[in-house]
Amino acid sequence: MPLFKEELRHFISCVLDEDIGSGDLTTLATIPSITNLRAELNTRETIVVAGIDIAERIIHTVDSAISIEILVQDGVEVTTGNTLMRLEGNARKILTAERSALNVLQHLSGIATLTRKYVKEIAHTNCRLLDTRKTIPMMRKLAKYATRMGGAMNHRMCLDDGILIKDNHIASVGSIKNAIKAAKNYGSLASSIGITVECDTIEQAAEATAAGADRLLLDNMSLDMLRLAVSEFSAKVNLEASGGVTLDTIKEIAETGVDFISVGRITQSAPAVDIGLDYLK
């Protein structure tokens, strides 16, 4: 589970409060209180599942008496028409919980599905896909969990999770060398988690390597520049390519020999997948 128990309880409470308000008026007005339903969660396209257990918790928060059978676990790729979950119980409660459960499951599975597409493009190399901090506010832990289900590695969870010296930091202190020196003088934290430096040119990469960086973030470099960086610096530091990476370009980037590629699109632009709740007679 990507969230601690109390985090999950709070998240589900907020999700249901947002969707239900003071009550599901349509369901209360039209469905007799004693009516039961059987239903299935079915895929409408090929997806990588993420968030199935959270969907279950949402439904059970609305009504713990609903019978739920989970058929597919997170991280599994399934094709169109597969059943992810079967449930049976009070019709009012199932209808009330439906949209909240689907919203979370579709969103997280969308991230996992897009992530898996990127991972497949570089599977023949030793390069690993990284996510970024480009996430919907308050959804980061869940989004990064979904990228793991798709096969990516997590980059920084938050700003206290690593030292990444970028162009604005460098501009503020005058040089890459000064920025790295300041980071190293900050304390033992820098040596324990390492220092990454964003580099736009080979000259910056050389300066960062000489100053003691542990990883170079090679930002928006051409394929030729990436190959040169690999030949010059890969024996000394880890190399991460980033900037405008798409499904059409990631394969060639990975084949340059970089260690990592970070992609903001997998969390920032992933479309929700199509999953439907189908009611059974």
pLDDT one-digit tens code per residue, 118-163: 999 999 999 999 999 999 999 999 999 999 999 999 999 999 888 9
pLDDT in tens, 219-272: 999 999 999 999 999 999 999 999 999 999 999 999 999 999 999 999 999 999
User: Would you say 72 and 78 are in contact if contact means Cβ atoms under 8 Å apart?
Assistant: yes
The CATH number assigned to the domain with range 120-268 reads 3.20.20.70
Domain boundaries of the chain, sorted by first residue: 5-113+270-280, 120-268
User: Catalytic residue among 166, 181, 184, 251, which?
Assistant: 166
Tally Cβ neighbours within 10 Å of residue 33. Answer: 8
CA dist 72 and 57 (Å) reads: 15
Among this protein's residues, is 57 annotated catalytic? no
User: Catalytic residue among 24, 56, 98, 219, which?
Assistant: 219
For domain 5-113+270-280, give the fold: Aldehyde Oxidoreductase; domain 3 (3.90.1170)
Residue 128 amino acid letter: R
Among this protein's residues, is 219 annotated catalytic? yes
- What are the Cα distances from residue 245, in Å, to 15, 254, 260? 32, 11, 12
User: Catalytic residue among 38, 86, 99, 184, which?
Assistant: 99
In the chain, pLDDT over 90 holds for what percent of residues? 94
Among this protein's residues, is 92 annotated catalytic? no
Among this protein's residues, is 198 annotated catalytic? yes
Residue 161 amino acid letter: D
User: Catalytic residue among 134, 177, 181, 251, which?
Assistant: 134
Q: Which of 184, 180, 235 is nearest to 204 (CA)?
A: 180
User: Catalytic residue among 56, 74, 98, 198, which?
Assistant: 198
Q: Which of 148, 150, 149 is nearest to 120 (CA)?
A: 150
Per-residue pLDDT band for 274 (boundaries 50, 70, 90) equals very high
| pLDDT of res. 191 | 66
Among this protein's residues, is 167 annotated catalytic? no
